[in-house]
Amino acid sequence: MEVTEKITLDMLTKEGVSVLRQKFVVIDGTEMQVGGNVRNAYTNCEDDKKNLKEQLSEEYYNAVMAVWEV
């Protein structure tokens, strides 16, 4: 049974972003969430940029930076 993680960048503005993480498994062809939602908020500051770089894949990090560095 493979666990997959979905990441949603929610409420992305020039000031901040909320990152929603959800884990799923497929059982008998039906995708089911495992555990609860995990949501973390980050602001457009150097410390949070560093945390995001460590916690997100390059693809998601670059999407946030595209908004924050405009």
Q: What is the pLDDT of residue 1?
A: 79
Residue 25 pLDDT: 97
Residues 1-37 have pLDDT tens digits of 799 999 999 999 999 999 999 999 999 999 999 999 9
pLDDT tens digits for 29-56? 999 999 999 999 999 999 999 999 999 9
Domain that holds residue 43: 4-68
Let me know: does 26 contact 2? Beta carbons within 8 Å.
yes
On whether the CB atoms of residues 9 and 62 are closer than 8 A, the answer is: no
Angle between helices 58-68 and 46-55 (to 10 degrees): 160
Asked if residue 65 has pLDDT above 80, the reply is: yes
Considering its fold, how many domains does the chain have in total?
A: 1
pLDDT at 70 over 80: no
